[in-house]
């Protein structure tokens, strides 16, 4: 690890001001950042610890009937909250499908959203990687890219976002509330947080230096059943090959409305407007679910080792929809 200075922030304004300096980073649970610092993939000069900021670990009801989740709430705390378990079971399920209890006890809501890719070449500092070393190339493009993305990426970077929690939040239309170093507060829909890699894959989000995620806002819970399904190489404690978050409402033998988001297919959780349009008013049958899967993966492209993700995503969507609408 490179040497760094460490500060504990005692207020939001002070934290943002400190973290706006070049080379400074917020640290929350540290479960991603410290891992990357050990490998010198991240080399911050200053760590601003936001673990003790006021309101960081509060979950409260909002006037519109949703929830406001402090960015410092741990993944364990969020998944175990009874309001989340009753009203947004999708979110509890997704969080509980990720990492291990030890990690979830430290990992925070903000840190989970901003965790970096698990692309093996991003982690291997002996290999070219445009995300880690801009301009060096992408070793995954023709390498062992089994875990990489199949949608929305570019030949400069085919990394997938590894979060489970963010997939549920995307299906739930979450918004992030951020504070900038100048004190400005803005709300960012989660789907607009992540930037497509294009030819600048090292720039991953729309956040400015020193901009702090203060909280995540969930709108009132959607109608319908919520189901998160994760497919991975072993039954527990592994990143997703593919995951699907579904909220589906059934009316008689039809699907009234459905929301669909995929994990591990793209640089961000992939909300599929195509699948949702195809499901609206469709018969609650496997044929309709297959059609939704075909619509969702229409523009997908495999890179060799990850070709399997495309049919796997379709089948996982079918199974998850069948579960959600009770077919």
Ligand X SMILES: Cc1cc2nc3c(=O)[nH]c(=O)nc-3n(C[C@H](O)[C@H](O)[C@H](O)COP(=O)(O)OP(=O)(O)OC[C@H]3O[C@@H](n4cnc5c(N)ncnc54)[C@H](O)[C@@H]3O)c2cc1C
Q: Which one of ligand X, another protein, ligand SF4, none interacts with residue 158, CB within 5 to 8 A by kind?
A: ligand SF4
Helix (H/G/I), strand (E/B), else coil: 198: coil
92 is a contact residue toward another protein (CB under 8 A): yes
Question: Closer CB to another protein, residue 10 or residue 136?
Answer: 10
Q: Which position among 10, 100, 125, 223 is part of the footprint of another protein (CB under 8 A)?
A: 100
150 is a contact residue toward ligand SF4 (CB under 6 A): no
- Rounded to whole angstroms, the maximal C-alpha distance in the chain is 63
Which residues within the stretch 94-123 sit at the binding site for ligand SF4 (CB under 6 A)?
A: 117, 119, 121-122
Q: Minimum distance between the CB of residue 96 and ligand X, rounded to whole angstroms?
A: 10
Q: Which one of another protein, ligand SF4, ligand X, none interacts with residue 76, CB within 5 to 8 A by kind?
A: another protein
210 is a contact residue toward ligand X (CB under 6 A): no
32 is a contact residue toward ligand SF4 (CB under 6 A): no
147 is a contact residue toward ligand SF4 (CB under 6 A): no
CA distance 283 to 285: 6
Q: Concatenated DSSP letters for 23-86?
A: TEEEESS-TTHHHHHHTTSS--SEEEE-TT-TTTT-EEE-TTS-EEEETT-BHHHHHH-HHHHH
From 108-116, 141-149, 193-201, 244-252, give the range in contact with ligand X by CB under 6 A: 108-116
26 is a contact residue toward ligand X (CB under 6 A): yes
Q: Concatenated DSSP letters for 105-129?
A: HH-BHHHHHTPPP--HHHH-TTS-B
Which residues within the stretch 159-188 sit at the binding site for ligand SF4 (CB under 6 A)?
A: 159
CA distance 90 to 174: 13
The CA–CA distances, whole Å, from 128 to 16, 133, 161, 262, 306 equal: 32, 7, 19, 28, 19
The residue number with the shortest CB distance to ligand X is 111
Q: Minimum distance between the CB of residue 229 and another protein, rounded to whole angstroms?
A: 11
Q: Which one of ligand SF4, another protein, ligand X, none interacts with residue 119, CB within 5 to 8 A by kind?
A: ligand SF4
The CA–CA distances, whole Å, from 134 to 38, 44, 118, 156, 159 equal: 20, 17, 17, 9, 14
265 is a contact residue toward ligand SF4 (CB under 6 A): no
202 is a contact residue toward ligand X (CB under 6 A): no
Q: Which position among 69, 157, 165, 300 is part of the footprint of ligand SF4 (CB under 6 A)?
A: 157
Distance of CA 113 to the CA centre of its chain: 5
Q: Residue 47 corresponds to which tokens in the numbers above?
A: 């760590």
Sheet order of strands, 59-61 included = 59-61, 67-70, 212-218, 175-179, 185-189
> Running DSSP on this structure, what letter comes out for residue 138?
B
End-to-end CA distance of the chain: 52
Which residues within the stretch 218-257 sit at the binding site for another protein (CB under 8 A)?
A: 235-237
Question: Closer CB to ligand SF4, residue 215 or residue 264?
Answer: 264
Binding site for ligand X (CB under 6 A): 25-33, 35, 50, 71, 75, 98-99, 103, 106-108, 110-112, 114-115, 162-165, 212-213, 239
């Amino acid at each position: 690890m490179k040497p760094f200075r460490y500060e504990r922030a005692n207020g939001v304004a002070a934290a943002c001001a400190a973290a706006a300096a070049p080379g400074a980073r917020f640290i929350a649970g540290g479960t991603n950042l410290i891992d990357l610092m050990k490998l010198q993939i991240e080399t911050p000069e200053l760590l601003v610890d936001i673990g003790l900021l006021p309101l960081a670990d509060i979950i409260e009801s909002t006037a519109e009937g949703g929830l406001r989740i402090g960015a410092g709430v741990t993944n364990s705390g969020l998944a175990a909250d009874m309001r989340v378990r009753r009203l947004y079971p999708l979110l509890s399920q997704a969080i509980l499908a990720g990492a291990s209890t030890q990690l979830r006890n430290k990992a925070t809501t903000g840190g989970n959203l901003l965790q970096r890719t698990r692309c093996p070449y991003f982690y291997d500092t002996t290999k070219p990687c445009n995300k880690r070393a801009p301009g060096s190339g992408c070793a995954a493009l023709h390498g062992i890219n089994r875990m990489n993305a199949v949608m929305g990426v570019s030949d400069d970077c085919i990394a997938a976002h590894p979060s489970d929690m963010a997939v549920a939040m995307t299906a739930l239309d979450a918004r992030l509330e951020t504070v900038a170093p100048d004190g400005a507060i803005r709300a960012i829909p989660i789907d607009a947080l992540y930037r497509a890699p294009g030819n600048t894959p090292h720039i991953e989000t729309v956040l400015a230096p020193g901009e702090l995620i203060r909280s995540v806002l969930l709108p009132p819970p959607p109608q319908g059943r919520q189901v998160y399904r994760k497919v991975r190489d072993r039954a527990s404690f592994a990143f997703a090959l593919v995951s699907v978050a579904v909220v589906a409402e059934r009316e008689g033998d039809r699907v009234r409305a459905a929301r669909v988001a995929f994990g591990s297919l793209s640089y961000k959780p992939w909300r599929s407007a195509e699948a949702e349009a195809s499901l609206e008013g469709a018969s609650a049958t496997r044929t309709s679910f297959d059609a939704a899967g075909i619509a969702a993966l229409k523009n997908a492209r495999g890179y060799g080792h990850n070709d399997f993700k495309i049919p796997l995503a379709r089948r996982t969507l079918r199974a998850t929809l069948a579960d959600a609408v009770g077919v």
